[in-house]
Amino acid sequence: MKIVFNGQTVELPNTHTLSALLTDSNLTKGLSIEQAVVAVNQTLVHKSDYETLIIHEGDQIEMLTAVVGG
């Protein structure tokens, strides 16, 4: 199954929940869930839904964090 995570195409071996996906430090670059916010297919996902949300083929996932800004 292929998905797009922060703009990069990623191959997943099997079905994942969003929560499981976010434990992969290769994807998250070590960013903790507490310091991140996630959108799937341009829709915000609340943290309370991470455990139940199933990732599907072709999903586009954005995991963002706080950065400096003007």
C-alpha distances in Å from residue 58, one per residue of 4, 34, 41, 52, 61:
7, 26, 9, 18, 9
Regarding 49 and contact with other proteins (CB under 8 A), the answer is no
Question: Is the separation of the CB atoms in 63 and 25 below 8 Å?
Answer: no
Which residue, 5 or 16, has its beta carbon nearer to other proteins? Answer: 5
Applying CB under 8 A, the span of 11-19, 24-32, 52-60 interacting with other proteins comes to 24-32
Regarding 9 and contact with other proteins (CB under 8 A), the answer is no
Regarding 36 and contact with other proteins (CB under 8 A), the answer is yes
